[in-house]
Structure 1
Amino acid sequence: MQQEEVVQDEAFNQILQKVIVEVNGFFELKEYIGAKKPSFNFIQTSFSNIVDQGNNRANLEQNVQKILEELLRNNVQRLFIRVFFQYLKTNQEQMNLRQFQNSGIAKIWKELQVQELLDFIELFDLKNLITEKQLHQHFKDLLYKQKFDDAYLFYTCIKLPQECFNKLIEQMLANNDASKAADFIKKQHIDPANYPKLVERLQRNCIKYMSKEHPWYKNEEMLLYQQQLLVNFCEYAYQNHMQKEALSIIKRNNLINIIKNPVQKQQMQSDLQNGFEEIPNPLFVKDEFKPVEEFINNEIDAYLNCKDFGYPENQIIFIDKIDENYFDAWKCIHSSNAVGYDCEHVTPWTKLDLDGFKVCFVQIATSSHAFLFDYQKLKDSEEFKNDVRQLLENVGILKIGLSLKDDLKHTVNYLKLKNIKIGSIVELQSCFKVLEGDQKLRSLAYISEFYFKKKLSKFDTCSNWEYRPLRKAQAHYAALDAIISLQIYLSMVGKNNQALENLKQELSLG
């Protein structure tokens, strides 16, 4: 990266001369920085040049404490303090900074920001002059002022005891800052089980979000293997005018004994015993190989369908073991010159979800078939890993998708593939930008509708991809994402094949 060219400013040099020699001009310094907004590099170069003139180094060394006190007293921008400390750090071997240990310089430590404080303690060797009690009190002050980022940085850099971190998380939770508290816990690699109240808060926030984003029947399916979250959803739904739906889920999944709130549990039991009629989940009652909207909302022929591109249901092959279907699938894939590629995955429900990110399927579409490979069953198979590697490294086969590099990274990481160079990657977003002159990052749904004039269903984007067997509509959705990627590319080829050739990418992973 090329460094900026620093042009000297005589007015600024005169201000710096006053600051260093006379310990004066701090108001002018503040006004100059506020008006001119000079860069760190400009200030640093100018400062060094002035200090290195004549007897200014000796003046600076003599006036270090007074200059620092005046910078803080006049609220001069922290950018200048950073420059000041950087110069001291660079030249500390030639300067006698320890002489200030007995001059009371340690008293100003509370006025410094956290990173400045660390430099300050190191520069003047003040570790023994600031007591543990003072450090603890300063940490408490930061919590009181709700400066949680500073408190966390202070905790980690000063190496305060664990009880301080626990207090930080407790205060953040009281301040409805659960998400950032979770970030701090992850950074410290601490078991979330030590903070059950925080975990519960995150789970309830997750449920509130899901309740707004999805219909109740989709939430039931998504949470089938997350019992506590499903219970939380039922409790929330029951309190928010969805009593029948909540009771139906509770009855269907035998959850009544897990309800925590005793008053609510008693009311639910009473409702269930008084002639309650269960509402079936429409996703479980009716399932067809087509977009969910067609048979749930009766939106007939409004959405793209696999059959629109010549892929009937019997050409969508689900593969979860090494058998004849498996070998036939890879024979078909390896003999292709282009495939659509997509992954379905489950993301953590909360930031402290220990299960983490899980790839559930990889979908690969050829010109005649779409293959759904079950990662959960095949991820430990060396045969599967070798076939995936062969596909990814084969530059003769185009790998086509949207946000494809993310899916490829997930594939490589989840299968623990090493030293792999992926060739002939086609990112549809980049191609769409070049061919259609649209500079926005467009979604697969947008690009699909642009070329094929029908909507792409996204109902099952966040469905339960761990559910077995897949619903037919889920299999249709998963297959179509890979099929549509290939079909979009084939539509693009007719417009400008040379431009597409120039957009092919490579990626080294593992």
Structure 2
Amino acid sequence: MLEKVHATASTPTSNPHTRPADRKLTKDEINSLPIRRWEGPVHLVREDHQIIQAVEKLEHETVLGFDTETKPVFKKGVTHRPSLMQLAAEDAVYLFQLHHLKQFSPLQGLLEDPRVLKVGVGIAQDMEQLQAIFSFSPVHCHDLGALARAIGMDSHGLRTLAARFFQFRISKRAQCSNWETPILKPFQVSYAATDAWISREIFLAMQREGLCDPEKMRFSI
């Protein structure tokens, strides 16, 4: 069974009439905004049989928010592979603890599925880093940051895009925590789930405002 660690849904709304102009918000402006986080169901996937259960649910989605987390590097010349992959569906977020898993073929199928759109900021780099763990060729993946730049927006990062579209900020406190820990702490679970969730919501907000030009969003590896 998948391990569920949260149980209350949360959905943001974008109001273009109260949204700030398409300029880059200052750090002080962003810090003055209220914090929001994903408060819905989060499923931890740390065993191979759980991958199949998760993918069986995710493959029916049309849009998935995507992100990864990697153990921070404090030494020159040292690199780490991603420790966590997050996929946000409409009503739940799935966290895959990659260093616990060995059978990646279901994930390969999902990431190569042309029917399921994967969206995130810096997604090309994340996908490339995942390819060091298991082999796949990403299909139907769009980079929100690349789209923002292409349409002339000054906000490119996840935090600034969240502030631009929803007038709230997401916490980055857990970004430099140890993502290879066997048991993720509650604040790590919340942080990781929020990043994937807000990626999906930003895409949907862009779509509602007619900002999504598929040709400007694509990338290839």
User: TM-score, length-normalised on structure 2?
Assistant: 0.79
2: CA distance, partners of 1:503 / 1:386: 30
Deviation of residue 352 (structure 1)? Answer: 4.3
* Pair 1:505-2:218 in alignment: yes
Instruction: Tell me how far apart the structure 1 counterparts of residues 219 and 169 of structure 2 sit (CA, whole Å).
Output: 31
Shift of residue 363 of structure 1?
0.5
Write the distance in 2 (CA, Å) between the matches of 1:305 and 1:428: 19
Change (3 A) 1:396 1:503: farther
Q: Residues 305 and 316 of structure 1: is their aligned pair in 2 closer, same or farther, counting only changes over 3 Å?
A: same
Q: Which of the numbers 356, 378, 393 marks the counterpart of 2:112?
A: 393
Give the AA of the match of 2:220: L
Q: Give the SS at the match of 1:467.
A: coil
Cα distance in 2 for partners of 1:444, 1:492 equals 13
SS at match of 1:449: helix
Q: Any residues of structure 2 matched to 1:325-340 within 5 Å, and which?
A: 325-340=50-65
- The corresponding residue for 1:363 is 86
Contact map agreement 2:143 2:219 (CA 8 A) in 1:
no
Letter in 2 for 1:302: P
Matched AA of 2:93: A
The separation in 2 between residues aligned to 1:345 and 1:413, in whole angstroms, is 13
Instruction: Tell me, yes or no, if structure 1 residue 460 matches structure 2 residue 200.
Output: no
What is residue 425 of structure 1 aligned with on the other side? 141
Task: Determine which structure has the larger strand proportion and give its number.
Answer: 2
Deviation at 1:347, TM superposition (A): 3.9
Partner residue in 1 for 2:11: none
Q: 1:496 and 2:221 equivalent?
A: no
Residue in structure 2 matched with residue 407 of structure 1 by the alignment = 126
Distance in 2 of aligned mates of 1:358 and 1:487: 27
1:402/1:386 CA distance change after superposition, 3 Å: same
Kindly provide the CA deviation profile for residues 67-111 of structure 1, in whole angstroms up to 9, marking residues without a partner as x: xxxxxxxxxxxxxxxxxxxxxxxxxxxxxxxxxxxxxxxxxxxxx
**Structure 1 spans left out of the alignment, 5+ residues:** 1-287, 290-298
Q: Is the 8 A contact 2:144 2:156 kept in 1?
A: no
The amino acid of 1:348's aligned partner reads V
Aligned-CA RMSD value: 2.3
Query: Residue type matched to 1:305 in 2?
Result: R
| 2:20 alignment partner in structure 1 | none
Shift of 1:333: 1.1
SS in 2 for 1:335: coil
Structure 2 CA distance for partners of 1:494 and 1:348, relative to 1, 3 Å: same
Asked if the contact 1:424/1:504 (under 8 Å) is kept, the reply is no
Larger Rg: 1
User: What is the alpha-carbon distance in structure 1 between the residues aligned to residue 35 and residue 69 of structure 2?
Assistant: 20
Q: Give the aligned length.
A: 192
Paired letter, 2:168: K
- Between the aligned partners of 2:214 and 2:206, the Cα distance in structure 1 is 11
Give, in angstroms, the shift of residue 342 of structure 1: 0.5
The answer as to whether partners of 2:81 and 2:132 remain within 8 angstroms in 1 is no
Of 76, 83, 105, the residue aligned with 1:351 is 76
State the shift of 1:429 in Å: 1.0
Matched residue type, 1:462:
C
How many Å separate the matches in 1 of 2:157 and 2:215?
22
Identity %: 21
Q: Does 1:306 pair with 2:38?
A: yes
Aligned residue among 43, 48, 51 for 1:322: 48
Aligned residue for 1:421, secondary structure, equals: coil
Contact 1:393/1:423 (<8 A) preserved: yes
List per-residue Cα deviations over 1:430-462 (Å, max 9, x = no partner).
222344x32x46211000011111111000110
Partner in structure 2 of residue 476 of structure 1: 190
- Say which SS state the counterpart of residue 413 (structure 1) adopts: coil
